[in-house]
Amino acid sequence: MKASALILIVGSALVLQVAAQLDPVCDSCPSKNCTYDKRLSCSCTGLNRTIEIVDPGDREYFNVSLGFVVDNTGSMRTEIASVKSSIQAVVTATSGIFDKYVIGTYNDPYVANVFESTDASAINSFVSTINANAGGDCPEMAMHGIRDVADRLSPGSVIFLFTDASSKDLALEPDVKALLESKNIRLNVMATGNLCGMGAEFSRLTTATNGTIYRTPDKSDVDFVMNYIKNFAKYGIRFIRGMPTTLEDLKAIADGNCSCKTSIENLVCIEPPTKSCPCPEGFEHIVVKKKVCVPGPCKKHKYGSLGFVIDNTGSMAAEIFAVRAHIANIMANNTVFKDYVVATFGDPYKKNVIRSSDESVIQSFVNSISPSAGGDCPEFAMSGIEDAAKKARKNSVLVLFTDAAAKDASKLAAVKALLLAKNTKLFVIATGTFCGSGVYKGEFDDLAAASGGDVMTLTAKSSVSEILDFLALAAAGKYSLRSFPRCLDDMRKMKPERCCKWVIHHKCKPIEPSCPLGYKRVTMRNKVCGSPNGCPRKRVGSLGFIIDDTGSMGAEIFAVRTHISAIMANNTVFKDYVVSRYGDPYVKNVIRSSDASAIQSFVNAIGPSGGGDCPEYAMSAIEDAAKEALENSVLILFTDAAAKDANMSADVAALLVSKKIKLYVIGTGQFCGPRVYKGEYDYLAAASGGSVMKLTAKTSVGEVLNFIGLAASGMTSFDSLPSTLEGLHGMPYQDNCWIEEISTCMCDCYDRP
């Protein structure tokens, strides 16, 4: 199966024609159709750990291309020969894997120069004509080059951007970003220079496309990227999209001194359509895949320790107080680190480090840190990092807060080796100028790059709080720590990670007749939004609302009255509706109807009144609603009080179970407190297969009713109703869009010579 990649080397419907191919991984499935994840594990010479590359999926991409965009301005003169030879080697090695190659160059002023071919020798001939010249000022026309090559590439490509300059044509950035996202093109940046001291546009584009920035001060590192492509295309083109995220791993794996093996995980066979929905004569069964995404990564990365290395000299008061104020929130949200490390360093240096999983111990340690001494600018940062790394577990993340260079920079090599040996990333939060260029020799940039971390420079110490808020979200698993934003602007634009999985729909479509002579059948894939026209949904049971109408329930009654018409209008699941109201004393008052206007009139007549003492007659109302409802129904109880008639619980539970009715309880109060409430609703919900959701504010009922509307429309399931409002906010909803295949006959005259 072919996949696409766009390599960029630099100093509303998407229609995709595909050819159906059988995936041999699915041979063990009766239907020969499946979904799965693939992992490539490599043990490399000189590296004391295994490098893992995860297949990013994208099995919807078939015939795609490999592209190069070359910045051939004068500043690329020293590396252009290496770039050209590397491109030619890659094209030769991958001939026949991609459906075509596309190459473009750009200069200043920009003149389009794009060449495409399926012939490797023709591509290599074009590459040999590329020379570096002109330019002059540092920013170049990168966006034009990306745009013109990406236009000619198929969806699913990868861009490797090699540049020593930023982009002059920033006005094109929104269009380039939209183009890359629409074609699912991944952008990776190889920065061989300082990007003119700018380059934030590349951070924005790599973040938007799930790419990576590799900082490569040695311009010969171009060869490592090309060698990786040559050596790993054989394992599957999708591994070009899932390259290692650190230059160290890329170098280790690109030289070929690795033993690699692939493994298949999470294989799920896609079953053929059930007999309850057979395709009629003249129709054939097809499978439609639909992507459904939820917040957070599919599999949270488990780290060792989360470490804070804090310069506690006199100039660091703002940073110390910020850490002190935010660390409790970071620890409270943490789901990915096993414990915490805190180390301080001053001048003179005195070892002061702690590791613990006890949040109170860590908070006490941080509270004891105060700014003092120092005076001259360089401080003993390397010693602080070293002691924190020794104390931390393997696979840890250390965050250094300092405004000064390292007085003990002579320890750089030893600290770097320690970080690599323990697979620990170092991120540096720079809140000053590192004592100026005359003192700072790049030691933090060197450590961060070697460990897979980064350096973030702040212009104001007051911004540290924003960094700590970001760390809390990263510790909660909502953002990845595989990379780190290099400035506040990039951080503010970062998107939370999402986990996307394919949902399978079975459909029937007409069998296409043979095409007439001179025509060929072409199958295209198109993103379509609406309601899938597969097997019609079979409606079941009743959707029931049981409403406590005592005096304290005004907000809930008004919310149901406001939302019920939309719920009924979008319903595709239930045959009819039941509404039951109850007060104290209890008077039976229940209706069942498929007439939306009759239900709306009944609900409009409900008003809050009576009650007074807290327990109410909920069991009687649930019983009467269940007797009225059809089998396989869903009943939803809205109340803030316990049940005065809780002695009926066993009989009501038996009734619900006998009619296969699920009860969901929306609790908008304390159920009269623990002395009165004895768990009767939890008992009924558990017995019937439902659940109890407790709200802290009555005004949140509207959000629950929106969920009920989505469940009634088939966009989610009542079974996924969470127990809290926070859980509701993080739920996945199907977006009513899917990929539809369109088959037609097309004249094949364009293929003729």
Domain ranges of the chain: 65-254, 303-495, 540-735
Residue 16 has pLDDT above 50, yes or no: no
Averaged pLDDT for residues 452-457: 86
Residue 21 has pLDDT above 50, yes or no: no
CATH superfamily of the 540-735 domain: von Willebrand factor, type A domain (3.40.50.410)
Residue 188 has pLDDT above 90, yes or no: no
Q: What is the pLDDT of residue 37?
A: 64
CB atoms within 10 A of CB 531: 11
Is residue 356 very low, low, confident or very high in pLDDT (cuts 50, 70, 90)? very high
Tell me whether domains 65-254 and 303-495 share a fold: yes
Is residue 582 very low, low, confident or very high in pLDDT (cuts 50, 70, 90)? very high
Q: What is the pLDDT of residue 451?
A: 84
Residue 304 has pLDDT above 70, yes or no: yes
Residue 141 sits at the vertex; the CA angle it makes with 136 and 146, to the nearest 5 degrees, is 145
Residue 619 has pLDDT above 50, yes or no: yes
Q: What is the pLDDT of residue 23?
A: 61
Averaged pLDDT for residues 659-668: 93
Residue 145 has pLDDT above 50, yes or no: yes
Can you give the pTM of this predicted structure? 0.41
Is residue 297 very low, low, confident or very high in pLDDT (cuts 50, 70, 90)? low
Q: How far apart, in whole angstroms, are the C-alpha atoms of residue 344 and residue 351? A: 8
User: Under a CB-based contact definition with an 8 Å cutoff, are residues 446 and 412 in contact?
Assistant: yes
Residue 642 has pLDDT above 50, yes or no: yes
Is residue 98 very low, low, confident or very high in pLDDT (cuts 50, 70, 90)? confident
Contacts of 172 (CB under 8 A, 6+ apart): 143, 144, 147
Q: What is the pLDDT of residue 355?
A: 95
CB-based burial of residue 166 (10 Å sphere; 0-12 exposed, 13-18 middle, 19+ buried)?
buried
User: What would the pLDDT profile of 27-77 be if each residue is shown by its tens digit?
Assistant: 777 666 776 666 666 776 666 556 666 554 444 444 567 888 888 888 888
Q: What is the pLDDT of residue 301?
A: 67
Averaged pLDDT for residues 132-149: 83
Is residue 236 very low, low, confident or very high in pLDDT (cuts 50, 70, 90)? low
Specify the DSSP element, H or E, that contains 545: strand 542-548
Residue 214 has pLDDT above 70, yes or no: yes
Q: What is the pLDDT of residue 354?
A: 96
Residue 96 has pLDDT above 50, yes or no: yes
Q: For the ranges 118-132, 150-164, 302-316, 624-638, which has the lowest average pLDDT?
A: 150-164
Q: What is the pLDDT of residue 61?
A: 47
Which architecture, in CATH terms, is 303-495? 3-Layer(aba) Sandwich (3.40)
Residue 240 has pLDDT above 70, yes or no: no
Residue 532 has pLDDT above 50, yes or no: no
Q: What is the pLDDT of residue 49?
A: 59
Averaged pLDDT for residues 292-303: 67
**What 3-state DSSP class applies to 50?**
strand
Q: What is the pLDDT of residue 295?
A: 67
Q: What is the pLDDT of residue 664?
A: 95
First-to-last alpha carbon distance for the chain, in angstroms, is 28
Q: What is the pLDDT of residue 544?
A: 96
Residue 530 has pLDDT above 70, yes or no: no
CATH topology of domain 65-254: Rossmann fold (3.40.50)
Cα distances from 436 to residues 312, 401, 439, 709, in angstroms, run 19, 17, 6, 60
